[in-house]
Structure 1
């Protein structure tokens, strides 16, 4: 292409403002088609998806183009980064929009991210309240547009959705989509890549399966049957109130929870793989929890900084 960087930036600004001429739109479309990585039906055929990609690219372009006579968009270093950004965004969109999902509203997505040892409470502009567990990420638009409210979750979060019968609220995960009008529920992606949706009150639709309060849906992938079971919901939502519960849980899974909860790394001795633990801790320190586990399972632990090793003779 012979478009220089400043010209490209002006074209992109005009496109996103809706003032681009048909000739200018054609130039941008020609640029889009330059990259074979983007030649996917869901990325190239859907104008809404393409506009999301343009918006994402616009936010990553430098405020001023690098100077230098004769430079073009395709011959300078940052153009490679721009192409990679386009590929990453297109893959991201293709991977997460299920075939049954409506086209996304064109809006800038914001991110709320927690690391190990962190939790975060968020209130969305529609009044929905979200508690994000450790090691999780929620993506959401600054404002919900159109006839649905859509967010994207990895990790775990507890939702108290503001009721809006005209605009369903949809939580997208790589495994399942949860659709509600207004209710309270928990969504968790498990270590084995399943999705657990636990309903506290109201009603939710998990990939076409309706849950009642005190039920949990377990989904393993889009298109596979969703398993439903009755549960004690407190065991799955107490974490939001800083209550750590292990209900006959394999020690390996409990260790993963402790790592996220306290921001540490725990190595588990091979002999402890068959152990399970049942205990409840309310706002306890890591030291107290480890001391309790040591007593219950007759194990020892050594800690150096944020690294912990649990050793023992095993459980029968």
Structure 2
């Protein structure tokens, strides 16, 4: 691969000529490299720097032993991997991305990503709004919110009564339970838990999605109840996704868990090892391999997709940005995308990426309509 070949492909692309699959792969790797070097808009001259390093990267990417593997990553466009680069860097570099009129762009940009926020509801119905600046902890039979002690006995609440922590669409929150276990709640989720764990087990109820890091206590197993699964652990890290009208999935990051079909334990419980997941589908419990990095990416501030359908991707975006997607073309939901998107970008950055896959977006209020580009 010579530097002049890359320049020729750049000139061909800028002149509007159609590139074949290999040329697209070369071009995408070129822009991906440059996007990782700077977050600022670059001139055409600056885009041609460091060709020696870029050339070596491209040769490695399209070598014979990797060509077949690499090409499987692309669907309808060779640029799926570009999402891995910073969104701000990518958007400057692809003139083929759809340009929205000023009004549409402003509407998209006005919708920001979600943030740390939740609502704590005590057993007596008393409510407390929480945000990223709010510290909440359970201890000595009471709840502390920003250092203020909520004396539950004075409120007539038993410490074994269940509190409800709710994250709205566009919200997420982390809570530390009385035993020191940590729970991260994703958007549109609900966790019911006691202020103090009593008896011979620690039990909580989950609707939605959460990641758990459980303190080891073999004498008091930790149990999670969802609509489709009962999960029992001694000390481990795992992710549960159990939204209404969706399949329930428990993926194990480390340790060991026992998963039963239904909300109560079963003699036919399934034991998971790290890197495995239990999936409830049509009343059956299936064991599968899991991509833990992808499953838990939301906790680390990322959307991470691997041959994910647009239907699944937009479901995640809906919860995080508190919007609704409507498909005007029936082929869009099944399209697949691979890559990563930071969860902190605004909605305009998201639709710009979708535009690269020939998907046009229009927004009215908080409803986004998706159609194939004309």
Using the size of structure 1 for normalisation, the TM-score is 0.63
**Candidates 341, 351, 356, aligned match of 1:290:** 351
Given the alignment of the two structures, is residue 203 of structure 1 paired with residue 203 of structure 2, yes or no? no
**Candidates 249, 252, 258, aligned match of 2:311:** 252
**Candidates 186, 201, 209, aligned match of 1:156:** 209
Q: Which residue of 2 aligns with 1:96?
A: none
What secondary structure is seen at the aligned counterpart in 2 of 1:270?
Answer: coil
CA distance, structure 2, for counterparts of residue 188 and residue 260 of structure 1: 13
Shift of 1:192: 4.7
**Candidates 199, 209, 212, aligned match of 1:146:** 199
Shift of 1:304: 3.1
- Provide the aligned C-alpha RMSD in A: 2.2
CA distance, structure 2, for counterparts of residue 225 and residue 300 of structure 1: 38
What secondary structure is seen at the aligned counterpart in 1 of 2:318?
Answer: helix
* Between structures 1 and 2, the one with greater helix share: 1
Counterpart mapping for 1:183-202 below 5 A: 183-189=236-242, 192-202=245-255
CA distance, structure 2, for counterparts of residue 126 and residue 247 of structure 1: 36
Q: For 1:84-106, what per-residue CA distance to the aligned partner results, in whole angstroms no more than 9, with x for missing partners?
A: xxxxxxxxxxxxxxxxxxxxx99
Given the alignment of the two structures, is residue 109 of structure 1 paired with residue 109 of structure 2, yes or no? no
Q: Which residue of 2 aligns with 1:306?
A: 366
Counterpart mapping for 1:217-296 below 5 A: 217-220=278-281, 225-271=284-330, 272-282=332-342, 283-295=344-356
CA distance, structure 1, for counterparts of residue 227 and residue 362 of structure 2: 37
**Candidates 91, 103, 127, aligned match of 2:180:** 127
CA distance, structure 1, for counterparts of residue 287 and residue 209 of structure 2: 19
Contact 2:360 2:373 in 1 (8 A): no
Shift of 1:279: 2.2
Shift of 1:219: 2.1
What secondary structure is seen at the aligned counterpart in 2 of 1:155?
Answer: strand
Instruction: Decide whether aligned partners of structure 1 residues 115 and 190 sit closer, same or farther in structure 2, where only a CA change above 3 A counts.
Output: closer
Given the alignment of the two structures, is residue 216 of structure 1 paired with residue 269 of structure 2, yes or no? no
CA distance, structure 1, for counterparts of residue 321 and residue 355 of structure 2: 17
Q: Which residue of 1 aligns with 2:234?
A: 181
Deviates more, 1:164-173 or 1:276-285: 276-285
Aligned pair count reads 211
CA distance, structure 1, for counterparts of residue 370 and residue 246 of structure 2: 26
Q: For 1:158-206, what per-residue CA distance to the aligned partner results, in whole angstroms no more than 9, with x for missing partners?
A: 0001111110000000101000011100000156542100000000000
Q: For 1:47-101, what per-residue CA distance to the aligned partner results, in whole angstroms no more than 9, with x for missing partners?
A: xxxxxxxxx7xx47xxxxxxxxxxxxxxxxxxxxxxxxxxxxxxxxxxxxxxxxx
Contact 1:190 1:196 in 2 (8 A): no
CA distance, structure 1, for counterparts of residue 182 and residue 358 of structure 2: 41
Shift of 1:254: 1.2
Using the size of structure 2 for normalisation, the TM-score is 0.53
**Candidates 211, 215, 218, aligned match of 1:165:** 218
Q: For 1:118-155, what per-residue CA distance to the aligned partner results, in whole angstroms no more than 9, with x for missing partners?
A: 10111001101000000010000111000000000000
CA distance, structure 1, for counterparts of residue 246 and residue 347 of structure 2: 27
Shift of 1:290: 1.1
